[in-house]
């Protein structure tokens, strides 16, 4: 074994994290942000347009 084995192992771990951990993390973060924004914007829209006959068409 040479002295560079630790560096190669570290580089391999970084590559695995970049390929297999980060993409699902970004997708899940985007899903959570989208859900929170959708909830908040829908609540605001319903408050802004109370009494509108178009609200009944949303369901």
Number of Cα atoms under 13 Å in the Cβ half of residue 11: 5
pTM: 0.63
d(CA 9, CA 29): 28
Mean pLDDT of the chain: 87
More confident residue, 52 or 15: 15
CB 55 within 8 A of CB 49: yes
| Chain-centre distance for alpha carbon 7 | 32
Nearest alpha carbon to residue 29 among 19, 37, 18, 39: 37
Cα Rg of the chain, angstroms: 23
Instruction: Look at residue 1 and tell me whether its pLDDT is greater than 70.
Output: no
């Amino acid at each position: 074994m040479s002295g560079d084995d630790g560096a190669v192992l570290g580089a391999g771990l970084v590559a695995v994290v970049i390929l297999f951990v980060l993409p699902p993390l970004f997708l899940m973060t985007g899903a959570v942000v989208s859900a929170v924004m959708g909830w908040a914007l829908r609540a605001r829209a319903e408050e802004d347009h109370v009494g509108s006959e178009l609200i009944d068409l949303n369901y």
